[in-house]
Amino acid sequence: MQRTYRLVISCPDQVGIVSSVSTLIAEFGGWITEASQFADAGSGWFFMRYEVDAGSLPFGLEDLRRAFAPIAERFGMSWHIADSEAPKRVILMASKEAHCLSDLLYRWRSGDLPFVIPCVISNHDDLRDFVEWHGIKYIHIPVPREDKSEAFQRVRETVAEHAADAVVLARYMQILPPDLCDAYPARIINIHHSFLPSFVGARPYHQASARGVKLIGATCHYVTSELDAGPIIEQDVIRVNHHNSASDMVRLGRDVEKTVLARGLRYHLEDRVMVHANKTIVFA
Amino acid sequence: MQRTYRLVISCPDQVGIVSSVSTLIAEFGGWITEASQFADAGSGWFFMRYEVDAGSLPFGLEDLRRAFAPIAERFGMSWHIADSEAPKRVILMASKEAHCLSDLLYRWRSGDLPFVIPCVISNHDDLRDFVEWHGIKYIHIPVPREDKSEAFQRVRETVAEHAADAVVLARYMQILPPDLCDAYPARIINIHHSFLPSFVGARPYHQASARGVKLIGATCHYVTSELDAGPIIEQDVIRVNHHNSASDMVRLGRDVEKTVLARGLRYHLEDRVMVHANKTIVFA
Amino acid sequence: MQRTYRLVISCPDQVGIVSSVSTLIAEFGGWITEASQFADAGSGWFFMRYEVDAGSLPFGLEDLRRAFAPIAERFGMSWHIADSEAPKRVILMASKEAHCLSDLLYRWRSGDLPFVIPCVISNHDDLRDFVEWHGIKYIHIPVPREDKSEAFQRVRETVAEHAADAVVLARYMQILPPDLCDAYPARIINIHHSFLPSFVGARPYHQASARGVKLIGATCHYVTSELDAGPIIEQDVIRVNHHNSASDMVRLGRDVEKTVLARGLRYHLEDRVMVHANKTIVFA
Amino acid sequence: MQRTYRLVISCPDQVGIVSSVSTLIAEFGGWITEASQFADAGSGWFFMRYEVDAGSLPFGLEDLRRAFAPIAERFGMSWHIADSEAPKRVILMASKEAHCLSDLLYRWRSGDLPFVIPCVISNHDDLRDFVEWHGIKYIHIPVPREDKSEAFQRVRETVAEHAADAVVLARYMQILPPDLCDAYPARIINIHHSFLPSFVGARPYHQASARGVKLIGATCHYVTSELDAGPIIEQDVIRVNHHNSASDMVRLGRDVEKTVLARGLRYHLEDRVMVHANKTIVFA
């Protein structure tokens, strides 16, 4: 894989943004390998993402940042530049169900998804052996029903201590406290086992079965302090029928959950997701 | 198309139902062309649908009904037998948007869907020419905002007078009064322009756009007195992204709406849908 | 809908293209409402499409073309600029089956698809009434089995005479002669009733049924002189199973055909499709 | 899970089959939990599958077989009865790519798919550690390019020695010799990485990329001596576009491959697949 720098920008839309950015890149001989833009007429906001061949530039990442800063200031941009060879550090959190975790670990060890896993955190000890076989640290933080505050304090410290860029709730069956959610905006990724906003909260397949829907789904979203209401990154569905009981749906849904989570995580890892007004722009 | 009798049954599940029914059919030399069964372990209820080649039986529909009645009584069945050559009479109701109506009229005139349209009812006069070109009666019943009761009284009388077996709300933008809904259980079919139970009520695409979902859908369901909460017959979705405004979704959604409505109506016309506890069994 | 100019470009990739184009637009105060780019690393070719708000420019289409020409020359571009308010002239060709034609005529009369239909050409007379009800000229050109050359000469003349920008084969069941195909590269659009390249040629659903596939599909593609081998614009599939005979597939497939054709045609009408090396770039 | 006996039948269609079978079951008080039938009007063949609650019968599997034999003989049936608590023995074969193998091993260890894995056979040694961590025997049988006959002789012996009910080619990159295929009709399951019959043979994603298709897929099928031409059990597709290179398709396709293989294998393990005239009936 070619090394690239990913320039991700959002700002109020106006004439001249693309011209300024692309001209800067061109002046240094930068080769753009992928370019995405979106002008949101509704909000008047502009979003763009460039991938520039690192080898085509006469300097490194820091110089590019320095060169870019004046343009960013001029247009009032939120922006960052990521290096495709600096994989993000992502802590995985799980409970007892292994389908999402197992799928992500396969993608990690095969290189299908490029990321670093500083550790796996779980409120149960069931998945330890499998995780440790991968040479990954397994941290068991039980979450007692009576008082969860200490547990989540440990979670918070663990995330901080491991310098995680992101946290993935890979069917972690506890609700994170609001202050923890707020501390990592657009950096905690959850997979919810329904097609949100249908069936918020617990036991969504049982809700789906009771309602008699003909499709069930899964939703990958950023976590916010409001339960299951954060910006949606990716969704998908599969067909069910009257033969499928709620427990069949649980089983069938697992395949959608793991696929949707992996797609959403990939977008995040590749800096393809931007959040604006509780919605995402995904340059897939 | 071969003429068939469609035997549709539901009753509490017990040993011997299929044996009794299939043996009766076999004794008369009846040739079963399609058979579907479903034993719902949750509710303890049993559902079945047989299609029997009419020509293989030594008698007609009435004799078959007579022959079957004792079995039905023995097992406490809800049941009916429909003749594939007696197409249902279906009144279409629409407002101004023509995509569903236009699609259904194509299916009617091409024979794609076998049904009789006694009339089209609309609260506007816009679609008259197109409907009348088909040789179908167009009944304009305006629904004044201030007092709708008289209008719906006329709708009720029109439905009764035309001996309709079913009513299809093909993007009819008025909410039917509860007593009218209750008068035709599992016989009024609506197409809702969202993936229910997400986005009940008005302007679902705008709700979807505001929530930032990545798939939008449509739901074909039987109408009950509770808004958008009746038994779901069929659903489908299509993918959207940040480029799609609410009005794009309106446009994109039309294709799903008309396809989902046509599929749901086909199931109904072919006696493939059974309702139990606000859910459908669809022998598709 | 806002009036826009659509600038569509392809050329060998090199540094500076986007910079030059976007800077030109910006210098005139042009407001870019939609921008898509694609650098094909395999072929070394670059493709882009800009939509510019016509009202934001100080001049009209011809001036824009004149201003752009030097850049186009410098980079060796193939290019054109289309006006969103100059709808394309599209001749529809059909035979006896009306599902695609009926769907396109609905989209035409409702404004769902913005295009002009100078006439409908058919090798049968069956669909005349329906077409003429729309106020559209219907030209019946029978194609005798023994000698088709005269018929296709008339087709060619009719297309020329009506100054058609494009021709849509809406289930037109004759194979156009190679010279006619070659005369309108990337301007004749066909809907093939299979998921190409599976089941090229006649009776694809029967081929699909014989092979026992679990999904059937439709393919919208530009016509070239090689049968069913032109650049693919759009495809989709639906699920079938053992219950579905070849004639069921014919029926089920119609819904996919008309939807896929309408999507493909929309991309074409909006200047979203570019062809390179028998493949399409679709800026959907 | 309730223990059931699965009665799977195919025979020439005639009046009285269902009556005879269901009456036999009913006479012994057998509780049918799931019933599927299919009368293929084209071939005149009849297929059925019953699941009977084992606990509802007054005797065991052997007695049921004995009781059923006279009916089977009378109607000329091919038939078998499987015990849901006697999981099939399935040998997995793989090469270097682990996505399908990894997914199946997850399903095995989590109980998602009920089967026994006597061993994994591979022509490479790469996946040994991961397989052995599961406590499953790993048999490395290299297949030299010059002479493969000895290797496949060892494969054949290994399959026989481990009394395998089925063999799954989980991206095993060698073509099995015809005599081995013929020795296990409808018992060797392959996942092909294209939407067959498109792109038979090697490097299907590169073929797909060259053809410019808009959907890529995977096909789970029984292996026959004709390459990639055996009865199709399950297929699915995902959308691609011009941004996706052949190597992107390889990556994207993996998710479809593993999902389709798992679905196909489930149908096989649950005795839901019947083969007739190189096509499958899948009572999904």
C167 contacts C89 by C-beta, under 8 angstroms: no
In sequence order, what E strands does A13-77 have?
32-40, 45-53
Q: Phi first, then psi: give them for residue D46, nearest 5 degrees.
A: -125, 140
Mutate to test the interface with D, among C48, C200, C214 (most CBs of D within 10 A): C214
Q: For B2, phi and psi rounded to 5 degrees?
A: -65, 140
Overall average pLDDT of the B121-126 stretch: 98
**Phi-psi sector, B104: left (phi>0), alpha (psi -120 to 50), beta:** alpha
% of residues, chain C, pLDDT over 70: 100
Token pair for D109: 């260890």
List of chain C residues whose C-beta atoms are within 8 Å of the C-beta of residue B112: 99, 251, 254
pLDDT at C95: 98
Does pLDDT of A213 surpass 80?
Answer: yes
The total of other beta-carbon atoms located within 10 Å of residue D202's CB is 10
**Does residue C106 belong to the interface with chain B, where contact is any CB pair within 8 Å?**
yes
Long-range contacts of residues C155-163, Cβ cutoff 8 Å, at least 24 apart = C155/C93, C155/C121, C155/C180, C156/C180, C156/C183, C158/C91, C158/C119, C158/C121, C159/C91, C159/C184, C162/C89, C162/C91, C162/C118, C162/C119, C163/C89, C163/C118
The pLDDT > 90 percentage for chain A reads 99
- For residue C181, the distance in angstroms to the closest alpha carbon of chain B comes to 30
| B196 CB within 8 Å of a chain A CB | yes
- Look at residue D77 and tell me whether its pLDDT is greater than 90: yes
Q: How far is B38 from chain D (nearest CA, A)?
A: 7
A118 part of contact set with chain B, CB < 8 Å: no
Q: What secondary structure, in 3-state letters, does chain D show? A: CCCEEEEEEEEECCCCHHHHHHHHHHHCCCCEEEEEEEEECCCCEEEEEEEEEHHHCCCCHHHHHHHHHHHHHHHCCEEEEEECCCCEEEEEEECCCCHHHHHHHHHHHHCCCCEECCCEEECCCCCHHHHHHCCCCEEECCCCCCCCHHHHHHHHHHHHHCCCCEEEECCCCCCCCHHHHHHCCCCEEEEECCCCCCCCCCCHHHHHHHHCCCEEEEEEEECCCCCCCCCEEEEEEEECCCCCCHHHHHHHHHHHHHHHHHHHHHHHHCCCEEEECCEEEECC
What average pLDDT score do residues B79-93 get?
Answer: 98
| C-alpha span between D282 and C243 (Å, rounded) | 10
For A:236-255, CB contacts with C below 8 A are: 239
Cβ-defined contact of C38 to D245 (cutoff 8 Å)? no
Does the pLDDT value for residue A1 go beyond 90? no
B18 in contact with D, Cβ within 8 Å? yes
How far is B94 from B100, CA to CA, in rounded Å?
8
Condensed to tens digits (0 to 9), the pLDDT of residues B61-74 reads: 999 999 999 999 99
pLDDT (mean) for D15-33: 97
Instruction: Please compute the mean of the pLDDT values over residues D145-163 and round it to a whole number.
Output: 97
Q: How close are the terminal C-alpha atoms of chain A, in Å?
A: 18
Q: Could you report the per-residue pLDDT of B237-275, keeping only the tens digit for each?
A: 999 999 999 999 999 999 999 999 999 999 999 999 999
> Is A267's Cβ below 8 Å from some Cβ in B?
no
Nearest by CB to residue B99, choosing from C110, C243, C254, is C110
Contact B98 C110 (CB under 8 A): yes
The residue annotated as part of the active site, out of D228, D236, D248, D271, is D228
Q: Do C212 and D42 touch (CB under 8 A)?
A: no
Question: Once rounded to an integer, what is the mean pLDDT over residues C58-86?
Answer: 98
Q: Do D245 and C198 touch (CB under 8 A)?
A: no
> Region B159-188: what's the mean pLDDT?
97
| Min Cα separation B92/chain C (Å) | 18
Residue A254: pLDDT band by 50, 70, 90 thresholds?
Answer: very high
Question: Does the active-site annotation cover C125?
Answer: no
- pLDDT band at residue C1 using 50, 70 and 90 as cut-offs: confident
Cβ–Cβ below 8 Å for B39 and D25:
no
Q: Which chains touch D (3 or more CB pairs under 8 A)?
A: A, B, C
Q: Can you give the pLDDT at residue D46? A: 98
Suggest the residue from D37, D50, D53, D238 to mutate for an interface test with chain B (most B CBs closer than 10 A). D37
The reply to whether residue C39 touches residue A26, judged by beta carbons under 8 angstroms, is no
The answer to whether the bond into C231 is cis (omega within 30° of 0) is no
Nearest Cα residue in chain B from C99 = B106
Contacts with A135 (C-beta within 8 Å, 6 or more apart), sequence order: none
Is residue A161 exposed (0-12), middle (13-18) or buried (19+ Cβ within 10 Å)?
A: exposed
pLDDT of residue C284: 94
Which residue, among C220, C212, C228, C197, has the nearest Cα to C269 in the 3D structure? C220
Average pLDDT over residues A243-254: 96
- Among B13, B63, B112, B228, the active-site one is B228
Distance of CA B189 to the CA centre of its chain: 5
Checking if the pLDDT of D196 tops 80, the result is: yes
Q: Is B98 on the interface with C (CB under 8 A)?
A: yes
Phi, psi of D63 (to 5 degrees): -65, -40
Residue among B18, B19, B29 minimizing CB distance to D15: B29
In chain C, whose CA is at the least distance from the CA of A28? C15
Annotated active-site residue in A83, A125, A126, A228: A228
What whole-number percentage of chain D has pLDDT above 90? Answer: 99
Cα distance between residue C131 and residue C105, in whole Å:
8
CA dihedral D171, D177, D182, D183 (to 10 degrees): -90
A vs B, Cβ pairs < 8 A, gives: 79
* Residue D208 identity (one-letter amino acid): A
At B183 the three-state DSSP class reads helix
**Most C-contacting residue of B110, B248, B255 (CB-CB within 10 A), to test interface:** B255
pLDDT for the residue B261: 98
Contact A215, B237 (CB under 8 A): yes
User: Which one of C18, C29, C30 has the shortest CB-CB distance to A22?
Assistant: C18
CB contact under 8 A, B25 and D35: no
Q: What is the pLDDT of residues D232-252, one digit of tens each?
A: 999 999 999 999 999 999 999
D198 touches chain C (CB under 8 A): yes
Percent of chain B with pLDDT strictly greater than 70: 100
Is the Cβ pair C41, A29 closer than 8 Å?
A: no
Contact yes or no for B15 and D30 at CB 8 A: yes
Smallest Cβ–Cβ distance between B259 and the set C102, C133, C255 belongs to C255
Mean pLDDT confidence for D122-133 = 98
At C144, is the pLDDT very low, low, confident or very high (cuts 50, 70, 90)?
very high
CB contact under 8 A, D112 and A251: yes
| A195/B contact by beta carbon, under 8 A | yes
Any B CB within 8 A of D186 CB = no
pLDDT digits (tens, 9 = 90+) for B192-228: 999 999 999 889 999 999 999 999 999 999 999 999 9
Which residues in chain D touch residue A103, judged by CB atoms under 8 angstroms apart? 103, 106
The answer to whether the Cβ–Cβ distance between C102 and B106 falls below 8 Å is yes
Mean pLDDT of chain A: 97
Ordered structural domains, chain C, with CATH: 4-83 (3.30.70.260), 90-282 (3.40.50.170)
Q: Which amino acid, residue A136?
A: I
Cβ neighbours of residue B114 under 8 Å, at least 6 residues apart? B87, B269
Give the nearest partner residue to D242 out of C215, C242, C282, using CB atoms.
C282
- pLDDT at site D215: 97
Tell me what ipTM this predicted complex has: 0.95
Q: Which residues of C touch B257 (CB under 8 A)?
A: none
> What is the DSSP track for B86-137?
SPPBEEEEE-S--HHHHHHHHHHHHTSS--B---EEESSSTTHHHHHHTT--
Query: Whole-prediction pTM value?
Result: 0.97
Q: Span B140-153, mean pLDDT?
A: 96
Which comes out higher in pLDDT, residue D201 or C105? C105
Tell me the CB-side half-sphere exposure of residue D39, using CA atoms within 13 A: 17
Q: Looking at the partner chain, which of D197, D282, D284 has a beta carbon nearest the beta carbon of C198?
A: D197
Residue numbers in B near A212 (CB within 8 A): 231-232, 278-280
CB pairs below 8 Å between A and D: how many? 31
Q: Is B205 on the interface with A (CB under 8 A)?
A: no
Q: Residue written as tokens 């026992």? A: C212
Q: Is the pLDDT of residue C28 over 80?
A: yes
Cβ-in-10-Å burial (0-12, 13-18, 19+) of A81 comes to middle
Please, are residues C93 and C120 in contact by the beta-carbon 8 Å criterion? yes
The shortest C-alpha distance from B35 to chain D (Å) reads 6
